[in-house]
Amino acid sequence: MKLFLVACAALSLCLPLHAKEAAPLAEDPVVEKRLINISEELRCLVCQNESLAGSQAELAKDLREEVRGLIKEGKSDSEVKDFLVSRYGDFVLYRPQIKPSTYLLWAGPFLLLFIGLFTLFRFLKQRSKEVVDTPLSDEEKKRAEALLKDAQS
């Protein structure tokens, strides 16, 4: 019994410690949700294939803290993104903005598809011209008919 009480006391000592460590995450669910939404759209510059939301890099932690601060200041999502773009460049955006320097990026795939279809169309047209009509001679017609009759009987 005594041992049980000691164990309970020891466990209860651990509890507040855990609660304290988890606190920052649950601080403000609305802010945290927006933070995750925004930072999933942003690239971490240290581990370039990770989003800012998922990266454990020191810089990513700092930037999440910065974004959290901006959200609390009442900045809109696009203002937060502009803040990071003005410092780190378009590269931080996973979804590049549509502007003159990215027109080719956005239109490129459709352009390639169009070129492909155009080439295919021209190739087919060219080929249909090359195939010359060669009608059967009377002799060949008779042979063909004979063969067909043969097959039916």
C-alpha count within 13 angstroms, C-beta hemisphere, residue 89: 3
> Least distance to other proteins from the beta carbon of 123, Å?
10
Span from 22-30, 41-49, 71-79, 141-149 in contact with other proteins (CB under 8 A): 41-49
Q: How many whole angstroms separate alpha carbon 119 and alpha carbon 127?
A: 12
Q: How many whole angstroms separate alpha carbon 12 and alpha carbon 114?
A: 69
C-alpha count within 13 angstroms, C-beta hemisphere, residue 73: 12
- Cα radius of gyration (the chain): 35
Which residue in the set 24, 54, 89, 96 belongs to the binding site for other proteins (CB under 8 A)? 89
Measured from the CB atom, the residue of 27 and 90 that comes closer to other proteins is 90
Q: How many whole angstroms separate alpha carbon 32 and alpha carbon 24?
A: 9
Q: Does 59 bind other proteins (CB under 8 A)?
A: yes
Measured from the CB atom, the residue of 58 and 139 that comes closer to other proteins is 58
Q: Does 58 bind other proteins (CB under 8 A)?
A: yes
Which residue in the set 28, 32, 41, 66 belongs to the binding site for other proteins (CB under 8 A)? 66
Judged by the rule CB under 8 A, the positions of this chain that interact with other proteins are: 45-46, 48, 58-59, 62-63, 66, 85-91
